[in-house]
Chain A
Amino acid sequence: MESTNQVLLKGNEAAIYGALLAGCECFFGYPITPASEIAHAAANLFPALDRPFLQAESEIAAINMVFGASASGRRAMTASSGLGISLKQEAVSFIATCELPAVIIDIMRGGPGLGNIGPEQSDYNQVVKGGGHGSYKCIVLAPNSAQEMCDMTYEAFDLADRYRTVVYVLTDGVIGQMLESLKLPEPLPRRPIPEWAIDGGVNKRDNYIASIYMDHDDLEAVNIRLQEKYALIEKEQQQAESYYTDDAELVIVCYGIISRVAKTAVAKLRDKGLKVGMLRPQKLFPFPKSHLNDLVNKECMKSFIAIEMSNGQMIDDVKLAIECKKPVHFYNRMGGNVPTVKEIIEKCEKILKEQQ
């Protein structure tokens, strides 16, 4: 029988296919809804490729295992959601400071507190802004389909290596749970063990990995180096999808499941002759500042609307990016609710009416 790269997978499962095809060597995780299918797929497929899978005793353990595996020069990942990500933050700060590559998938659920297992986007701040202690940031990819769950996880390992940093794949419960048709990418060969790894071996015996700098100037130098790296990432990695933005008077900024709903809403608004577009950040750090500023300077462009499943976390980045040169409206749902096509259409129509 002939094999095919055409598959039907849940977003959560697609991420594991992307990881394995990118040559991810080990998975460490702890079950949490709505991210558990990632661990389920990993539990089946990592052993099928004779690569280690381990269910850790906690979220904290899982990320520290990733820390160890990455320090050994192996491509490693974990996955979680909301409160689980909160627990991981200390180790993420260590990994970022040690400048190790690592991939973390966050399938956002309802918060705060125990919240619920419905979809939300309320991990935005704790993922996009660093999250743990200290001045660090992580690259954050924001898929909105099973195809992108696969492709972005695949790409995440390369980005993590290139910048020696933590890369998050950040999406919501809907994208994680949704089954969708996609094409699998080509398998990558195993990455050679990097020079910096504590791999065991005569040439690498000198390597050590630490984030403790007793001398203040030494630690300041580390901080400056990190900030230079983040500046480079901002320069090189901004990414967004534009949909009907060319002549738009109102541009919706949103990511994840909302961008799927908003796409349908924009198509319907366009059917009515209303000039609404959508800009979807595909990376949240770096935020697509240049894409937003290209729009700000257009004459037809009157305002933006940030739509979120959180309390106004992403909107701050929109306003900062455009330095508040145009109004940024806001619409959100929380608690596991997803904005509907109807709600988005009504909100946009109201804004368009007001700005005439």
Chain B
Amino acid sequence: MEKLKFGKSSGFFDTFERRPGAIKKNMHYCPGCGHGILHKLLAEALEEMDIQDQTVLIAPVGCSVFTYYYFDCGGISVPHGRAPAVGSGIARANPDSFVISYQGDGDLGAIGFNNFIQAANRGENMTVLFVNNAIYGMTGGQMAPTTLPGQKTMTSPQGRDPLTEGYPLKVCETVAALDSPVYVERCALTSYKNIMQAKKALRKGLENLKNRKGFSLIEFLSGCPINLKMTTDEADHFIEERMMKYFPIGKFKDIADDRPAISKHLGIFEPAAVKRILYPNRQSSSKSKDFRNKSEIFTKERRIKCAGFGGQGILSLGMMIANMARLRNFNVTWLPSYGPEMRGGTANCSVVLSRDDVGSPIVDKDTNLLIAMNQPSMDKFLPELKKNGVLLYDSSSIEVPNCSEDKKVFGINAAEIAEDLGDHRVANSVILGALSFILRDYFLEGDDKADFDKTFEEAIIDCFANKKGIVDLNLKAFYKGKAAVETCF
């Protein structure tokens, strides 16, 4: 069917069925409002560029809140000022969509400016149509960030005073100063000539969107005769004589031709491929799922506390022990000192291993094994060591503790050994070496003795995966610790 000369663009719905009430043919805008002009330009562009299917037009809060009543394309109504954030989500999640953020001066310039400027600065594939009419419309004529100096509004009844309310926000100038945006132009919806230029700018912005060039901003100086308390002609005059002096129209930036298209995430979802990436590789020497170490020490839940200064590798020490437990099919928890205890640079962690489900992962009492690497930790946690508990401490900095007879106490000069190896940070692996010796000689039975030497090594390798130099140094420290403790006891 041939199109009527004065018929609506098919970028619009034929009738506005989404609009509640009896009026289904007209828009809700006031006479002389710039939104009507821009809507028409946009509808024609959507139709002529054949992008209605892919377009998502974001309706802001403000007078243009109802764009989805009118435009025959995807639509979403969003919280005040958040259109560029919502648009970023859409553009990232569905890179095949063309996101148009349609915003007014309150939505964009006031409540949502950070979301706007950050989306611009990220170079989101999005075109923002910014309607600047120097006043709040929908809420009834209050001052906008773009209200002119001296302009009277409901909330600047004496006229905007730049000394107390600041100067009008120059949005295009601000965005053009950023490196990411590809296109910035300010137009005016006044004369035929200006409207034709606005139409051209709008096309350019949508072309950029289609070509995935990134962020485009087109500002439209627009009339709001009702709230400005003017006739349509007076409003046009206001724009051309007063607004355009402060907000000059023209192109501020156009570098789209120099920009490559933004790539798209395709996503890997095929289950076997996902598993390959997310499931870790089983250590070649690790045991089958049913393997259980038989030594009696493992029949009960074992609660371990590692404590010292921050930077001594306390947390990784605990993590190596936890890894060891995992490699031998224990249920294990590792909990770092966390919250208030972090103050003062001390660090500790709780490790619990069990054949059953682990209850409380917080080792605050009933500690079976305490590894103390500085004096304050020793003082703090020794009282929590259970009867018959094991204490392992760094004798380079800690005095010989006063323990009841039931405790098994082992001191090793871990920090000094680590210094000799050239890196004080490996004191934790020296301690681990000592622990492996102590376990083997005092607590493990049968095959577990040989097995556990291996487990410790695997845990170190596991813990520092992909960092060969660090693995080697820590293994060296581990053997040193083992040898040192052997000669001590």
Contacts and interface: CB of A to CB of B under 8 A. Distances in A.
Contacts of A215: 20-21
**Which of A26, A50, A60, A187 gathers the greatest number of chain B CB atoms within 10 Å?**
A187
B268 A68 contact: no
Interface stretch (A174-182, A298-306, A321-329): A174-182
Nearest to B118: A57
Given A65-B85, A67-B78, A74-B93, A261 B362 contact: yes
Contact of B281 (A2, A90, A174, A201): A2
Interface in B328-342: 330-336, 338-340
B279 A5 contact: yes
Given A68-B88, A200-B56, A218-B20, A7 B280 contact: yes
B326 A198 contact: no
Interface in B65-101: 65-66, 68, 72-79, 82, 85-94, 96-98
**Which of B73, B319, B339 gathers the greatest number of chain A CB atoms within 10 Å?**
B339
Contact of A3 (B78, B281, B357): B281
A338 B334 CA distance: 16
A69 B94 CA distance: 7
B365 A341 contact: yes
Contacts of B269: 23, 49, 187, 189-190
Interface residues of A, number: 92
A198 B284 contact: no
Nearest to B339: A118
Contacts of B89: 26, 28, 64-72, 76
B322 A178 contact: no
A263 interface: yes
A342 B364 CA distance: 10
B74 A208 contact: yes
B362 A205 contact: no
A215 B19 CA distance: 10
B339 A187 contact: no
- The size bracket of the interface on B is 35 or more
B188 interface: no
Q: Is the interface of B mostly helix, strand, loop or mixed?
A: mixed
B280 A4 contact: yes
B271 interface: yes
B410 to A, nearest CB: 26
A51 B281 contact: no
B351 to A, nearest CB: 9
A54 B88 CA distance: 9
Interface in A326-344: 335-336, 338, 340-342
Nearest to B343: A116
B267 A49 contact: yes
A205 B76 contact: no
Contact of B279 (A184, A202, A342): A184
A340 B331 CA distance: 21
A72 B267 CA distance: 15
B274 A208 contact: no
A210 interface: yes
A91 interface: yes
A336 B339 CA distance: 7
B53 A201 contact: yes
B277 interface: yes
B323 interface: yes
Contact of A60 (B90, B115, B282): B115
A204 interface: yes
Interface in B47-73: 52-56, 59, 65-66, 68, 72-73
A3 B333 CA distance: 22
Interface in B199-252: none
B88 A179 contact: no
Given A49-B277, A179-B335, A180-B332, A4 B73 contact: no
Nearest to A23: B269
Contacts of A265: 360
A200 B55 contact: yes
Closest 6 CB pairs of A and B: A68-B89, A118-B339, A65-B89, A264-B359, A69-B93, A64-B85
Given A177-B338, A218-B20, 18 more contacts: A1-B282, A5-B279, A6-B326, A51-B265, A64-B79, A65-B88, A67-B78, A69-B90, A116-B340, A119-B339, A186-B271, A187-B278, A189-B271, A198-B76, A200-B96, A210-B75, A340-B364, A341-B364
19 contacts: A5-B279, A6-B326, A28-B92, A45-B277, A49-B267, A50-B265, A52-B92, A60-B82, A60-B115, A68-B87, A68-B89, A72-B90, A72-B94, A91-B79, A94-B79, A119-B339, A179-B332, A205-B52, A260-B359
Interface of A: 1-8, 17, 20-21, 23, 25-26, 28, 34, 45, 48-52, 54, 56-58, 60-62, 64-74, 76, 90-91, 94, 110, 116-119, 173-174, 177-181, 184, 186-190, 198-202, 204-205, 207-215, 218, 257, 260-261, 263-265, 267, 335-336, 338, 340-342
Interface of B: 18, 20-21, 52-56, 59, 65-66, 68, 72-79, 82, 85-94, 96-98, 114-115, 118, 265-271, 274-282, 284, 289, 319, 322-323, 325-326, 330-336, 338-340, 357-362, 364-365
